[in-house]
């Protein structure tokens, strides 16, 4: 089961931005849209578990670097 969770976490990270999903979830919570926010949370859950599985912040730094690179590439391709 652990391998499946890790695979799902990387699938989420590959999306345009995991940070965008966190921001969207927070905005939905602020707007009182808890059902929709909860759906996003459960999609993010495997990524959250993977990112915080180790006490070392390396996973968070790697995710941030991937996100930054993906945004830069997206901006070059679509602007």
Q: How far apart are CA 21 and CA 2, in angstroms?
A: 23
Q: Is the pTM of this model over 0.85?
A: no
Structure-block tokens of residue 31 = 């707007």
Q: What are the phi and psi torsion angles at 45 (to 5°)?
A: -50, -45
Please give the pLDDT value at position 15. 54
Q: Are 36 and 25 in contact (CB under 8 A)?
A: no
- How confident is the model over 9-39, as pLDDT tens digits? 555 555 556 778 888 999 999 999 999 999 9
* 62 vs 45, residue with greater confidence: 45
Give pLDDT, residue 9: 54
DSSP state of 78: H
């Amino acid at each position: 089961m652990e391998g499946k969770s890790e695979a799902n976490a990387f699938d989420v990270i590959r999306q345009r931005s995991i940070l965008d999903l966190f921001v969207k979830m927070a905005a939905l919570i602020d707007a009182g849209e808890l059902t929709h926010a909860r759906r996003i949370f459960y999609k993010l859950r495997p990524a959250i578990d993977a990112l915080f599985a180790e006490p070392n912040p390396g996973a968070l730094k790697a995710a941030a670097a991937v996100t930054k690179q993906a945004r830069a590439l997206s901006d070059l391709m679509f602007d």
